[in-house]
Amino acid sequence: MWPPYRPRRTARLHPHRLSRNTYTAGIKVTLSSSLQLLQVSIDDIFLTEVKMAEEDIQAKLQNYRTAPFDARFPNSNQTRNCWSNYLDFYRCQKALDAKGVDTAPCDWYKRVFTSICPISWVQKWNDQREAGNFPGKI
């Protein structure tokens, strides 16, 4: 699947230096309490990262004009670009539905393929998806 820029979901901690990763202001802490503090700080960072990503996507969707330049498809033949975004939209929907998360960020892919793809192709693929013989892997 596409994303090489997955934000890291699990922190990598040095097993001997856990207490340094928490802001305990010089108070001597036991291992378990420092682990708890650590877990809270990592959760906070992860949540802020997720929130920032969501806000970014919201901002991008609001300022959308047309599909931006995609370095993966630099030539004038943008067929692959259309196909890739169509697949990515439905895969994103399926993945986020499975996780139970709001699928609104997936709209980026929908906007891009709506801009790029010929309407007849989109209609044909939608019909194929409903009939169950869509050739791509979703």
Partner 1 sequence: MLGTLRKQLKSHPALIPLLFFIGGGAAMSMGYLARLALRNPDVCWDKKNNPEPWTKMDPTHQYKFYAINVDYSKLKKQGPDF
Point out which residues bind partner 1 (CB under 8 A): 1-7, 53, 57, 60, 68-75, 80, 84-85, 88, 91-92, 95-96, 105-106, 108-109, 112, 137
CB of 3 to partner 1, least distance (A): 4
CB of 108 to partner 1, least distance (A): 5
Instruction: Region of 118 please: left (phi>0), alpha (psi -120 to 50) or beta.
Output: beta
CB of 129 to partner 1, least distance (A): 18
Residue 115's nearest CA partner among 67, 60, 64, 58 is 67
Residue with smaller CB distance to partner 1, 22 or 109: 109
Q: Which two tokens stand for residue 39?
A: 């877990």
Residue with smaller CB distance to partner 1, 41 or 105: 105
CB of 85 to partner 1, least distance (A): 8
Give Dmax (Cα) for the chain.
67
Dihedral of CA 121/63/106/77: which sign?
positive
Residue with smaller CB distance to partner 1, 21 or 93: 93
CB of 99 to partner 1, least distance (A): 9
Residue type, 4: P
Q: What are residue 39's phi and psi, to 5 degrees?
A: -60, -40
Rg of the chain, C-alpha, whole Å = 21
Residue with smaller CB distance to partner 1, 91 or 129: 91
Residue with smaller CB distance to partner 1, 22 or 81: 81
The full length of the chain comes to 138
